[in-house]
Structure formats: structure tokens, C-alpha cells
């Protein structure tokens, strides 16, 4: 056992662990039995509720896959717009000029403090009142706007932490070579910071994918989650089956992204071992945004 | 500018009070549930470790919106579990607390685990040398220190939780985001004022939390 919290179990402890395992298994079994019998009571376990997902390809081609495409489209647009904006805000917060640093800081802190849902609803209303965007596309615009405003300010903090984590000598050396402030940032600091903060950026993508579901629930955006209404309406109220499949799709996508972030972090840590300087990888911060 | 508030049509403070209650109950629930999950994840029983890890990885990767909406559609509308809620709004509130607790517990677990990692191995080793059992080592020695080190990540989780309570609007809990949607529809001419009001409300809710817990983190930090 690798844990420092308990000794290598002896005969007595092993026996106790077996007892605990059996008790815990019994509790899990009871919960599972209760859930399954509750589901069976409401007729949610019958084969015809679940089989459409395996046998009827139209569930996928008409509902789930188009929904998934909308989800991924919104997520991709958001990260593509939020990245440069966030980098600009992050650099702005590091500016030597007070009149740049302070207002940019205020903007970043403001958008980080507001729930994404409020930003989405507000931008949807603004688009409806002041722009000619047709109501077909308005939910997508609103979702992307809300996600960009929030995530750009989060990315700004990641960029700032990434640049600040670099050894001081990097900036000093660039100045000694006669580079301007802009050149130092663009050619020396930012490229190194990007590799340091790559894992944090990838895990931010998980947050973005999860947050697109808000648009489906509150703004009528036709993404993956919102497809549950059509599926349950067309395939005989198979609520449990539909939510299980939709949740599984999200879990698989996000688990893959999380794995990618962990892989990147590991490679970065290994890659930097040979270098003389000790570099810090910006920690992956997910505190549970929606 | 604020004359639409004088009509008495909107209960702004009431809505934010519901938001605060949602955040408070879910925070208590998720701290307890997160601690239980952490205990499972570091326990000597492999099955408990497996369950804790699987639960955290599955729930953390599910969007909160899916969790909350599923609470309403699956528990309330399909299985008729209302947790004793009498009407739509009350049921929505209780199910939202349940969903927020189930979801936020995983992040509390991660924060606590990072806190446990800051406790030097010597602490647990010394406790074991004194003959303490796993439960004693965890509850008397490791977790108290882990909580103190985890105040900052826990504060961030609580702040995120406060913002996440808005998702409860999706299942009809009468909190701030739902009122904002209603006000946007009815008071289109005061759109920016409405947004500013609600933005201000959330800053008022989250800023003190951050400041108080930041202060607490400094006070409680274990000097090493």
C-alpha cells in the first residue's frame, strides 16, 4: 500500500477490510435495487424504451448528432474568440501603465464574478433588441457571447499566471538584447507561457463544453441536452434512457479532454526536467463552473 | 431609471434571498458529501476507493445543467420523488439543492484531496506510530490540517457554487436568474439597468465570501 494514512494490513485488518467491503457492497446493492425497482415501477426499464438508441439510427442522425454538433460548434467558437481576447486582457493586466492595468483588471474581475447564465440571457436580450440577427441564430450568438465574456476573463488570469511563472531572467535577457516591451512579450514571454499554461487551457475547454448546456435549458439553443424533449416525445417517454445516453456523451467528451490535459501536463513536466531552470506548470483550476 | 421597481411587481430581495438559501444549503450539503467522498477515496478498502473515484470522475464531467434538469425530469416527473416539496417552485428548490450538492461535492472532494497532499507524511506516520487507527488518523490528525490548507480552494468552490445556483432557474426555483428573465421580458426598455442590478447582486453575494474566506485562509494556514 502506498498510502501513509494506514499500515500495510495484517491478518486482522485484512479481515476487517473484507467485512467493510461486504457491508459497502450490500449498501450499494440495496441502493441499486431500490433505484431499479423504482424505475421498473414506472416502466422505464422495458426494452422498447432503450432499444431505439441501439437499433434506430434516426435517434442519432435526427436528434443526438445534430445536437452534439451544435454543442461542439458553440464550444469551438467560444474558445477561438476567447483565447485571443483573454490573452489581450491578460497582457493588459500586466501592463506597466496604470491606466491600462486598472480598467482591464476591473473588467476581468467583473466578468468573473457574474454567473455565465446572466451573461447569456443579457446578451440574448441585447441581440433581440438592438441587432437584426434572426431568432434562429440568436441563441447560438447569445451562448457564444456569454461564454466568451466569462472565459476570456478566466483565460486572462491563466495567461497572467503563466507569464508570471516564467523565470525573471527571460524578460531581463530580452530587454538586454534591446527588444521593445511588445517584442519581449510577443516573442519571448508569451510563447513560453503558452506551453506552460496549455493544460489549464485544455481543461477550460471542459468548462466551456459543460456550460453550453445552459443555453439549451434556458435560451432554446438546440444543443445536445435540449434534444431530450424531442426524443422523449417521439420514442414513448423514455426519460431515463435519454438522459443516460446524453449524460454519457458529455462524460466521454469531457473525460477525453481531461485525459488530454493530464497528458500534456505530464509531458511538460518531463520535457522540462533536462532544463537547468525549474519551471512551474500553471495548475489546472476547475472549481466547478456549471 | 429604477421606477419599474416601485410597482411592487418584482420581489428582488426575495429572489436573492432564495439564491442565498440555495447557496447556503448546497454549501453545507456538498461540504459533508465531499468529505465523505474524500474519506472513501483515501480509505484502505479498495471498493470504497473505486466507488469514490468513479463517482467523482462521472459527476464532475457531467454538465451541472444536465444534473439539475435530470433531477427535475427523472426524479420529479418520472419517478414522482418531490422530496416533500408541495408545489412546483418548492420542489424545484429542493431538487436543485440535491443536484447542486451531488455536483459540488466532487469539487469539494478534489479541494480536500489537494489539502491532504499538503499535510506532511510525518504527521500521519507519527499518528500511526502512536497506534491510531485509520479513522483516528484521518479525523483527528489529517483532515483538520487538510481543511485549513484547503480553505482557499474551498472558497473558490463555494464562490463557483453561488454562481451556479442560477442553473436552478432551469427547473423553476424562484431565484435571481428566473426573476431576471421575467424582468428582461417585461421591462425591455430598462434592459441595461436590470442587468446591472443583478450583476451587482451577485457581486454583493460573492465578494464578501471571497474576502472573508481569504482572511480565514490566512488566519488558519498551518505555519510550516
- Kindly report, residue by residue over A129-159, the tens digit of the pLDDT: 898 988 889 999 999 999 999 999 999 999 9
Give the mean model confidence (pLDDT) for residues A251-279: 78
Q: At a CB cut-off of 8 Å and minimum separation 6, what does B18 contact?
A: B93, B173, B174, B175, B176
Tell me if B70 and A247 make a contact (CB, 8 A cut-off): yes
Residues making up chain A, counted from first to last: 290
Here the cell at position A243 is 438522459
Say if CB A209 and CB A224 are below 8 A apart: no
Work out the angle at residue A254's Cα, subtended by the Cα atoms of residues A249 and A255, and round it to the nearest 5 degrees: 100
CATH topology for A47-271 is MetI-like fold (1.10.3720)
Q: Which of residues 25-64 of A touch B (CB under 8 A)?
A: 25, 28, 38-39, 42, 44
B11 — pLDDT class (breaks 50, 70, 90): confident
Four-residue CA torsion sign, A183, A185, A188, A190:
negative
- The CATH number, out of the four listed (1.10.3720.10, 2.170.120.20, 1.20.120.1200, 1.10.1840.10), of the domain defined by the range B13-220: 1.10.3720.10
CB contact under 8 A, A129 and B69: no
Q: Can you spell out the DSSP letters for B43-95?
A: SS-HHHHHHHHHHHHHHHTS-HHHHHHHIIIIIIIIT---TT--SHHHHHHHH
Residue B83: is its pLDDT beyond 90?
no
CB contact under 8 A, A225 and B66: yes
Instruction: Report helix, strand or coil for A238.
Output: coil
CA A227 to mean position of chain CA atoms: 21
pLDDT grade, residue A93 (50/70/90)?
very high
C-alpha cell at B14: 426575495
Of the pLDDT bands very low, low, confident and very high (cuts 50, 70, 90), residue A84 is very high
* Segment A61-66 long-range contacts (CB within 8 Å, at least 24 positions apart): A63/A227, A63/A230, A63/A231, A64/A224, A64/A227, A64/A231, A64/A245, A64/A246, A64/A249, A66/A222, A66/A227
Q: For residues A197 and A282, is the Cβ–Cβ distance under 8 A?
A: yes
Cell of A98: 496604470
What is the C-alpha separation between A269 and A287, in angstroms, rounded? 23
Q: Which three cell numbers stand for residue A217?
A: 435549458
Output the pLDDT for position A44. Answer: 81
- Shortest Cα–Cα distance, A14 to chain B (Å): 9
Residues of B in contact with A75 (CB under 8 A): none
Q: Is the dihedral of CA A245, A247, A250, A253 positive or negative?
A: negative
Chain B residues inside the 8 Å CB shell of A228: 69, 73
- Between A and B, how many CB-CB pairs are < 8 A? 176
| Greater pLDDT, B100 or A196 | B100
Average pLDDT over residues A26-50: 89
Cell of B89: 417552485
Q: Which of B60, B111, B206 sits opposite A113 (nearest CB)?
A: B206
Q: How far is B7 from chain A (nearest CA, A)?
A: 22
Q: Which cell is B184 given?
A: 428582461
Q: Do B45 and A110 touch (CB under 8 A)?
A: no
Q: What is the pLDDT of residue A1?
A: 39
Task: Identify which of A266, A263, A257 has the alpha carbon closest to the alpha carbon of residue A286.
Answer: A257
The secondary element (H helix, E strand) that includes residue A154 is helix A138-164
Chain B residues with beta carbon closer than 8 angstroms to that of A38: 79
Instruction: Find, in chain A, the residue whose alpha carbon is nearest to that of B122.
Output: A4
Distance from C-alpha of A224 to C-alpha of A212, rounded to nearest angstrom: 9
Using the structure block, give the residue that is written with the C-alpha cell 426499464: A45
**Overall pTM > 0.95:** no
Tens of pLDDT, residues B24-60 = 999 999 999 999 999 999 888 999 999 999 999 999 9
Question: What is the spatial distance between Cα B136 and Cα B126, in angstroms, rounded to a whole number?
Answer: 12
pLDDT at B210 over 90: no
pLDDT above 90 covers a percentage of chain A that reads 53
Q: Which residues of B touch A108 (CB under 8 A)?
A: none
Residues A174-186 have a mean pLDDT of 92
Say what the pLDDT of residue A53 is: 87
Q: Which chain A residue has its CA at the smallest distance from B45's CA? A: A17
Q: Which of A286, A282, A287 is nearest to A269 (CA)?
A: A282
Handedness of CA A283, B67, B62, B164 (dihedral sign): negative
Q: Are A250 and A207 in contact (CB under 8 A)?
A: no
Question: Rounded to whole angstroms, what are the CA distances from B220 to B84, B122, B124, B152?
Answer: 39, 20, 20, 10
Q: What pLDDT is attached to residue B62? A: 93
A3-18 per-position pLDDT tens digit? 778 878 889 889 999 9
Q: Decide if pLDDT at A278 tops 60.
A: no
Residue A282, pLDDT score: 62
Query: Choosing among A8, A118, A150, which should be mutated to test the B contact, i.e. which has the most B CBs within 10 A?
Result: A118
**Alpha-carbon separation of residue A105 from A102, A116, A164, A205, B97 (angstroms):** 5, 19, 16, 23, 33
Of the candidates B70, B164, B199, the beta carbon closest to that of A243 is on B70
Does residue A213 sit at the B interface (CB-CB below 8 Å)?
A: yes
Look up cell 431576471; give the residue: B180
**Side-chain-facing half-sphere of B203: CA atoms under 13 Å:** 13
Write down the mean pLDDT value for chain B. 89
Interface test with A, best of B23, B53, B64, B66 (most A CBs within 10 A): B66
Residue B224: is its pLDDT beyond 80?
no
Amino acid at each position: 500500500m502506498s498510502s501513509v494514512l494506514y499500515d500495510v494490513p495484517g491478518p486482522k485488518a485484512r479481515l476487517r477490510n473484507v467485512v467493510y467491503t461486504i457491508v459497502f457492497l450490500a449498501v450499494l446493492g440495496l441502493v441499486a435495487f431500490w433505484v431499479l425497482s423504482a424505475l421498473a415501477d414506472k416502466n422505464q426499464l422495458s426494452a422498447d424504451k432503450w432499444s431505439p438508441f441501439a437499433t434506430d439510427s434516426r435517434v442519432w442522425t435526427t436528434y443526438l448528432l445534430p445536437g452534439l454538433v451544435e454543442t461542439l460548434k458553440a464550444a469551438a467558437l467560444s474558445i477561438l474568440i476567447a483565447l485571443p481576447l483573454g490573452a489581450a486582457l491578460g497582457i493588459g493586466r500586466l501592463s506597466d501603465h496604470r491606466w491600462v492595468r486598472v480598467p482591464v483588471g476591473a473588467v476581468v474581475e467583473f466578468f468573473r464574478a457574474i454567473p455565465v447564465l446572466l451573461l447569456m440571457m443579457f446578451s440574448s436580450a441585447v441581440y433581440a433588441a438592438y441587432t437584426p440577427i434572426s431568432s434562429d441564430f440568436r441563441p447560438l450568438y447569445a451562448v457564444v457571447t456569454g461564454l466568451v465574456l466569462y472565459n476570456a476573463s478566466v483565460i486572462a488570469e491563466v495567461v497572467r499566471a503563466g507569464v508570471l511563472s516564467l523565470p525573471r531572467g527571460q524578460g531581463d535577457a530580452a530587454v538586454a538584447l534591446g527588444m521593445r516591451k511588445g517584442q519581449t512579450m510577443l516573442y519571448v514571454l508569451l510563447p513560453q507561457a503558452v506551453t506552460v499554461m496549455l493544460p489549464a487551457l485544455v481543461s477550460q475547454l471542459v468548462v466551456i463544453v459543460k456550460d453550453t448546456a445552459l443555453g439549451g435549458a434556458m435560451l432554446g439553443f438546440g444543443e445536445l441536452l435540449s434534444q431530450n424533449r424531442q426524443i422523449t416525445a417521439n420514442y414513448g417517454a423514455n426519460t431515463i434512457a435519454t438522459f443516460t445516453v446524453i449524460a454519457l456523451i458529455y462524460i466521454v467528451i469531457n473525460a477525453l479532454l481531461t485525459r488530454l490535459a493530464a497528458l500534456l501536463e505530464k509531458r511538460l513536466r518531463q520535457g522540462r526536467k533536462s532544463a537547468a531552470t525549474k519551471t512551474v506548470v500553471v495548475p489546472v483550476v476547475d472549481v466547478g463552473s456549471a | 431609471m429604477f421606477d419599474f421597481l416601485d410597482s411592487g411587481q418584482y420581489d428582488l430581495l426575495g429572489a436573492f434571498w432564495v439564491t442565498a438559501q440555495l447557496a447556503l444549503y448546497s454549501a453545507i450539503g456538498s461540504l459533508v458529501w465531499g468529505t465523505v467522498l474524500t474519506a472513501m477515496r483515501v480509505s484502505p478498502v479498495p471498493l470504497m476507493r473505486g466507488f469514490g473515484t468513479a463517482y467523482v470522475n462521472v459527476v464532475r464531467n457531467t454538465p451541472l445543467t444536465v444534473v439539475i434538469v435530470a433531477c427535475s425530469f427523472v426524479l420529479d416527473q418520472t419517478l414522482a420523488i418531490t422530496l416533500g416539496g408541495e408545489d412546483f417552485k418548492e420542489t424545484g428548490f429542493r431538487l436543485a439543492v440535491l443536484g447542486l450538492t451531488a455536483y459540488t461535492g466532487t469539487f469539494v472532494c478534489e479541494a480536500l484531496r489537494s489539502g491532504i497532499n499538503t499535510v506532511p507524511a510525518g504527521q500521519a506516520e507519527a499518528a500511526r506510530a502512536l497506534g491510531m487507527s485509520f479513522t483516528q488518523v484521518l479525523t483527528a490528525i489529517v483532515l483538520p490540517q487538510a481543511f485549513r490548507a484547503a480553505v482557499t480552494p474551498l472558497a473558490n468552490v463555494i464562490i463557483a457554487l453561488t454562481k451556479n445556483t442560477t442553473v436552478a432557474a432551469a427547473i423553476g426555483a424562484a431565484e435571481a436568474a428566473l426573476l431576471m428573465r421575467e424582468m428582461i421580458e417585461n421591462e425591455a426598455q430598462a434592459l441595461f439597468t436590470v442587468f446591472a442590478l443583478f450583476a451587482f447582486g451577485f457581486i454583493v453575494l460573492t465578494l464578501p465570501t471571497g474576502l472573508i474566506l481569504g482572511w480565514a485562509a490566512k488566519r488558519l494556514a498551518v505555519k510550516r
